Structure 1
Amino acid sequence: MKKNILILLFAVNAAVFRQSSKWSLQDCIDYAIQNNITIKKAEINKKTSELNLQQSKYNKLPSVTGNTSLSLLNGSSVDPVTSTFNSQLTTSNSFNVSSSLTLYQGNQLNLNIEKNKILVDQSDLYLKEASNNITLSIIEAYMQALYNYEAIEVARITSKSTQEELKQAQVKYKNGAISVELFNKADGLIFQTEKQLKEFGDKLSADKKAGIETALAELKTAYEAKDVESIKTKTEALDAAWMAASEELYAAGQQAQGNPDMGGNPNPGAGTGADDVQDADFEEVK
């Protein structure tokens, strides 16, 4: 509580006396030491101890006292010869000088001097302790202020960066760079590719099938990461893989229709019948 009060007083004084200037750490420490009540009290206690020590040394010296007095007396007296009253002024002076010297008092004077020396040293240590305490308090408060200032700067930079990102996102959304339609297209292409691989995967060559599966896996990864640019690229790659594979599917379909059956008739309807012809459904999404 005391620490908080000291810091508050320091802050108030700083605001009053140096509103237009910046304080260094040393300025804060110097001002606090010069104006702190605890330090002022310790300084007064030290001065009192020094005076007591000086007095205990003076007690070993002889003491001399002196006094003087002057008295004036004015009165009337009867002249015994003429029986008349005469006025008379009587003046009297007295002087007194006395001296004393303590020869031995059970070593009390020397012990008193030693005691006061210890008290002076104690007061000096108390003063240093008070000065160190207020210095530490000011350093802690100063470092906390710097930390808070740094946090404010970081927050300001982060806010500015976030605002810039928001503006860019709004521009991209407005220009169609971020589009719900793109994600829906990718989701639909993933679904259709998985379905077609199950139905017609056995009619594809190993390299074409592997190319489609690789492109599908990469598109899934981009879709889960919500990476717009990657989704565009991987969608195009999957479309290209299907385009290359569609030629094989078309050739397989043509071959199935043109094979002669029971006499080599090239007519696709004269063979095993229309039911033996399998049409390959393929959707190309661009």
Structure 2
Amino acid sequence: MLNLRSIVLLRFHSKYMKINKYNSLVLAMLFGFGLSSQAQSKKWTLEECVRYALDNNITIKLSELDVKNAAIDKKGAFGNYLPSVSGDASHSWNIGLNVNPVTNIATTQTTQYSSLAVNAGVDIYKGLQNQNTYRRAKLSIIASKYQLLKMQEDISLNVANAFLEILFNKENLKVKKEQLSIDQKRLARSQEMVNAGTIPRGDLYDLKATEATDQQAIIVAENSLLISKLSLAQLLQLKEFADFDVIDDTNAKDENNILAQTPVDIYNKAKEIRTELKLAQTNLEVAEKNVAIARGAYQPTLRGFYQFSTRASYSDRIIGVDANNNPVLAGPLPILDQFSDNKGHNFGFQLSVPIFNGFSVKNNVERNKVSLEKSKIDLEQKSLDLQRNVYTAFTDAKGALNAYESSTVTLEARQQAYNYAKEKYDVGLMNSFDFTQAQTLLTNAQSDVIRTKYDYMFKIKILEFYFGIPIVPIITK
């Protein structure tokens, strides 16, 4: 089994190689990749591709990190209810004239002292800002989960589109190869007829040109297939994709009978379950909380505080006075005893009333009101977009089904016309040009069937999405 690099090398050396600059660049990329990949027998199903993308796509991983950040913000918002506690410790040297912090006597000397303190504070009332901040944090978690789910749904749909593109290119390549095989047999038979003098040699040249055109069409079809495989492999974030391939586990049937529903029924169901509406609604609720938090700054705040402190000095202490009323000094008490004797408590309440703040609070409220209005408009727009998308998807699916059925009928007619033309050509009643025209029409009809088939399948997938039928069930974490 040849890997992608081997195929590309062969095609670059083929005398029939005629592709545009874009395909050349992409094939050059393929040449750079897959240098050491080994042949793989595994072929991916649609469900396996979607599952792998959901587990490994970088964009989804970033969205999962946003969910974690939202959970951290919720913890921070809950922490606003709790008191703040801090501890302080200091040790200082004072040189020269200074007041002994223990004796309160100014002396010229070098002194040392240590102090310890514990401070605590708690918000008693803050304009309900802490409560609204916590509620907003919970809504932000919900919004981030909806955003993740929407990302997963979008990736699933993109994977399905890329998967069906590969299947289309496979079928198209198969048709091109079958056409080449038919033309080669015709060329061999025509050579015999020319040798026998039954047909003119000019017909043989036409067939040789047709065969060369078939060779070129195969190369273009192979290039398209390689590019579509590369696109899906990169969407899946595969590191080794030189031999990446898929298997057709789909069918062109409306298994869920989605087209039996009416657009109104699909839209009503979509309004209840679609992630983009839930996300927009949650963002609206977050904007409402932002307004409430901003308004809370108009109100006074009440905070309770408590402080415990103690200190110790390393200087001499006064133990009395002598006959001349001069202080009698002694060495410092033990440090631990001083800490015990000098401890103190300080507690109370602090009320802060906003009077004027340069319109900062008012401007912040107005700014959040504007954001709220934008969220309302966004929700309304999302609802209108959903209605339009549902009706469009339903119409597209119906049209794709009709196109697929019509192309199938056309193919049957073209096949019969081709068979009749072949019978006439074989007995010399039709020239090669007219026969080639019949053959071209048949090939175009085959291509149309393939194109309309996979277009119909993808349109059905989109319509099922709006009705709440995912490609694979998405497990939320």
Greater Rg, structure 1 or structure 2? 1
RCO comparison, higher one (Cα < 8 Å, 6+):
2
Q: Scaled by the length of structure 1, what TM-score is found?
A: 0.48
